[in-house]
């Protein structure tokens, strides 16, 4: 892992603008972003993941972050993290696999941004729930961040406002 790369975790519930924000930040700062592997997993397999897929999804996400760090400029923007996989595991399966919990706990980010679910929620085929689960997922996420004492900044509003908020966080 390159110690000079500032890793920025972008987390939040489905349809909260994580991908849009990660892409826009990578473009703005001339760097790279790590797409959410879950989307590829669902598209490739044509089904939603089962409980036994969660650790594989989180490991792949983490490995892709580490690989992308080699191509990153000053910042690496991560569209989700293994912690979100753990959050969704708890939400959907009522528990978190011990290996997944260990992986989520071991990943470190310099900045954590939580995208507020204040943009219109839209279903997205197999990728997302058939109905908005933002409140429940965000409650689990808030609990997970607090339990791990992870400092974070809540980002909200339209994209231009979110970009200004991140700029202020990154000190630019």
Phi (first) and psi of residue 78, to 5 degrees: -105, 110
**101-152 pLDDT tens trace:** 999 999 999 999 999 988 776 666 544 455 568 889 999 999 999 999 999 9
**55-74 pLDDT tens trace:** 999 999 999 999 999 999 99
**75-87 pLDDT tens trace:** 999 999 999 999 9
Is the predicted pLDDT of residue 13 greater than 80, yes or no?
Answer: yes
Q: Are residues 73 and 31 in contact, defined by beta-carbon separation less than 8 angstroms?
A: yes
Domains of the chain: 6-170 (3.40.50.300)
Return the sign of the alpha-carbon dihedral for residues 147, 170, 31, 110: negative
């Amino acid at each position: 892992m390159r110690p000079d790369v500032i890793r920025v975790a972008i987390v939040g519930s489905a349809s909260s603008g994580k991908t849009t924000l990660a892409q826009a930040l990578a473009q703005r700062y001339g760097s790279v972003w790590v797409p959410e592997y879950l989307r590829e997993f669902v598209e490739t397999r044509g089904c939603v993941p089962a409980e036994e897929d969660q650790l594989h999804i989180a490991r792949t996400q983490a490995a892709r972050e580490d690989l992308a760090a080699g191509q990153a400029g000053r910042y690496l923007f991560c569209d989700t993290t293994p912690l979100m996989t753990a959050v969704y595991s708890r939400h959907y399966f009522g528990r978190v696999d011990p290996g997944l919990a260990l992986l989520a706990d071991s990943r470190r980010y310099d900045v954590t941004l939580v995208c507020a679910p204040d943009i219109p929620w839209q279903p997205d085929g197999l990728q997302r729930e058939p109905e908005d689960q933002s409140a429940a997922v965000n409650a689990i996420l808030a609990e997970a961040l607090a339990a791990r004492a992870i400092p974070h900044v809540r980002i909200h509003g339209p994209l231009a406002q979110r970009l200004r908020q991140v700029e202020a966080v990154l000190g630019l």
